[in-house]
Amino acid sequence: MQITKSTANKVTAASLLVALGIIYGDIGTSPLYALRAVMGERPIEQTLVYGGVSCIFWTLVFQTTIKYIWLTLKADNHGEGGIFSLYALVRRYGKKLVIPAILGATTLLADGIITPPISVASAIEGLGMVKGLETVFTPGGMITVIIVIAILSILFFFQRYGTQVIGKFFGPIMALWFTMLLVLGVSQVVQHPGVLAAFNPYYAYNLLANYPQGFWLLGAVFLCTTGAEALYSDLGHCGIKNIRITWVYVKVCLMASYMGQAAWLMSQGEATLHGRNPFFEIVPEWFLLPSILIAASAAIIASQALISGSFTLISEAMNLNFWPRVATKQPTETKGQVYIPSVNTILWTGCVLMVVYFEKSEHMEAAYGFSITITMMMTTLLLSYFLYYRLKWKRPYVIGLLMLFGSIEVAFFVANIVKIKERWMFLFFELFIFMVMYTWYYARRVKNRLTNFTDIGKYSDRIVELSADKDIPMYATHLIYLTKANTRHQVEEKIIRSIFAKKPKRAEVYWFLHLNRTEDPYTLNYEVSELVDDKLIKVTINIGFRLQPKTELYFKQIVQDLVNNKELNLHKRPDGSTKYNPEPDFQFVIIEKFLSQENEFALREGLLLNGYFWLKRMGQKDERAFGIDRHDITIEKAPLIYQPASPFTLTRKND
């Protein structure tokens, strides 16, 4: 059984429209606040204006176009992208690469909480420029804050229903948005064409080198490319060709908007911005309200893309053993679209707290961008492994690119460090996310290291004898054990102990079922090894890291396939059913480990294992995580002994 990847890489008018609607929301709404953040309340002069726009242009050239559009999109994991897809491609080449993967995913998830509030707030605050509404929709005012929170709350509420219905409007709305950016920007540039000189990199250099504290303005410049990571994360939805073609139009529209704002700044006549937003200042008065509605729609689409991306990120983290199993739902039939209630609640809470704490988008700019620089640095590191080991690039070329993008991103990171004081509360959230992923991954490695495997062949005769022993009550026709053993002839010792326990488990057929996570995101096939004909059978299900397992459905289909192919011959009825019950008799057994009181821990392992079992209690039960019905499952407990207690002497006290 194989789920083939979609034909997303075909280029049609419809596919280009879909690409506009899905992946450019974040970077596409940056003109709402990026240049305003560069200007702040500094005196408006040519060095600052031309230098700011020049920095934005060359950032989009190097970071977005060259790094992501040209290079990173090459890291195509069977049509899928994103930092975990990249990690899956290179993890075999370095054990320590798990840390960049965890750190990149953590910061991408954490800093993303700011994107919906800053985008929506920037759009809604534009209502304060409409005549008659100046005193109602003031930036940071109570009504503005309430409306922003209401929009975000509605957006998060409807996540449980998926985006299949409204998603068809995303493309046309974003196409309208980018066209609006182009028209408004060009209308200003034609009046003040001198601003085109800002394409000269000299102005960027002059700003950073000669303007007072010019280097630190990179923290604001970076806002223009914060959505670049989404271009790679959404690769599977749109395809590399659609992304590269649409980026040409998107970049032209973005630069038209930035140039138009710069042209207005150079001709508006005031010494400073005085709280004005250059984006809305270049909009004609008659078009102001429609432009705000379009901007708000684009901001909502940007927020939706980020939320969906967060669900996908956590789903991949669970399947790659970076995150505890939590409840996951499939709201629509769209491939890869998932809804995770717990993540939805966390994101909604974070976004609301953001709006309440910062109140207006101008304050959010001061906190935005720090973590995403870390994500980009981690992507650069993993990408260098991909280019060298998978694409076989020569070492000097890889080192050269690593130094180029590393230096750019380190500069952005240093410039963004000053934002820590504005976003210190996020450090706790990021630390929590990182520690969950770190603990879950490394504790599972410790736990797996303590798992002992044995050859099934040593016990096959006894199992066959048990199956034929009429003195032992029949436990089930099909007895299925989930095993981590990835070789055909091995299972865990605890499974053998379970079969021959005080009350032995007699069955007609013993199955050992292994779920093998593959690097291909959407693999779904199986392999069968009959260790003893019609008695001991090992099945390996190969499942992609982006798929949610439905183990029971898979297993029943496998049994039916074997019966239909006459590879399985089971007694009176080939599927194990009876004349009294048409349903086959399946019984799954999951053996859960618990931390034995006998253990004596070293500090690190003790913290890891105690944290692991605490997270496991908070997460989803194994039967739900693996997709097994409760009435078909037996849960058994087995102690995990990391290090036995030291020998002791216990004496009886005489009377």
**What's the rounded mean pLDDT across residues 122-130?**
84
pLDDT confidence of residue 644:
63
pLDDT confidence of residue 4:
37
Could you tell me the pTM of the whole model?
0.82
Instruction: Tell whether the model's pLDDT for residue 7 goes beyond 50.
Output: no
Range with lowest mean pLDDT among 147-161, 310-324, 361-375, 611-625: 611-625
pLDDT confidence of residue 424:
74
Question: Comparing C-alpha atoms, which of 229, 205, 240 is closest to residue 58?
Answer: 205
pLDDT confidence of residue 3:
33
Where is mean pLDDT largest: 69-73, 106-110, 136-140, 594-598?
69-73
Dist CA 546 CA 257 (whole Å): 37
Mention every residue, 6+ apart, whose C-beta is less than 8 A from residue 37: 220, 223, 362, 365
Mention every residue, 6+ apart, whose C-beta is less than 8 A from residue 482: 513, 514, 515, 551, 588, 589, 590, 626
Mention every residue, 6+ apart, whose C-beta is less than 8 A from residue 217: 38, 52, 55, 207, 208, 211, 415
DSSP label at residue 77: B
Angle at 330 between CA 329 and CA 334, to 5 degrees: 160
pLDDT digits (tens, 9 = 90+) for 482-518: 888 888 888 888 899 899 888 899 988 899 999 888 8
pLDDT confidence of residue 56:
96
**What's the rounded mean pLDDT across residues 217-232?**
89
The dihedrals phi and psi of 408, each to the nearest 5 degrees, come to: -65, -45
What SS3 state is found at 472?
A: coil
Question: Comparing C-alpha atoms, which of 379, 404, 389, 78 is closest to residue 240?
Answer: 78
The pLDDT > 90 percentage for the chain reads 33
DSSP-assigned states of every residue in 99-132: HHHHHHHHHHHHHGGGHHHHHHHHHHGGGGGSTT
Distance of CA 495 to the CA centre of its chain: 35
CB 102 within 8 A of CB 438: yes
3 state SS for 342-407: HHHHHHHHHHHHHHHHHCCHHHHHCCCCHHHHHHHHHHHHHHHHHHHHHCCCCHHHHHHHHHHHHH
pLDDT digits (tens, 9 = 90+) for 151-207: 999 988 888 876 665 667 888 999 999 999 999 999 999 999 999 999 999 999 999
Question: Between 28 and 128, where is the model more confident?
Answer: 28
Instruction: Tell whether the model's pLDDT for residue 571 goes beyond 50.
Output: no
Q: Residue with structure tokens 């991103």?
A: 409
pLDDT digits (tens, 9 = 90+) for 95-124: 889 999 999 999 888 777 888 888 888 888
Residue type, 266: M
Domains along the sequence of the chain with CATH: 13-442 (1.20.1740.10), 453-640 (no CATH)
The strand pairing partners of 474, in sequence order, are 506
Mention every residue, 6+ apart, whose C-beta is less than 8 A from residue 580: none
Question: Comparing C-alpha atoms, which of 269, 554, 218 is closest to residue 415?
Answer: 218
Mention every residue, 6+ apart, whose C-beta is less than 8 A from residue 269: none
Dist CA 545 CA 524 (whole Å): 10
Question: Comparing C-alpha atoms, which of 370, 374, 402 is closest to residue 386?
Answer: 402
Dist CA 265 CA 263 (whole Å): 5
Burial of 579 (0-12, 13-18, 19+ CB in 10 A): exposed
Cα 512 to Cα 137, 478, 482, 495, 590, distances in angstroms = 64, 11, 6, 9, 11
Instruction: Tell whether the model's pLDDT for residue 66 goes beyond 50.
Output: yes
pLDDT confidence of residue 363:
79
pLDDT confidence of residue 570:
55
Dist CA 591 CA 633 (whole Å): 11
Distance of CA 318 to the CA centre of its chain: 10
Burial of 245 (0-12, 13-18, 19+ CB in 10 A): middle
Dist CA 148 CA 514 (whole Å): 48
Dist CA 389 CA 387 (whole Å): 6
Q: Residue with structure tokens 């929170």?
A: 149
Dist CA 309 CA 236 (whole Å): 12
**What's the rounded mean pLDDT across residues 426-443?**
87
Dist CA 38 CA 365 (whole Å): 10
Where is mean pLDDT largest: 31-40, 71-80, 256-265?
256-265
End-to-end CA distance of the chain: 73
Mean pLDDT taken over the chain: 84
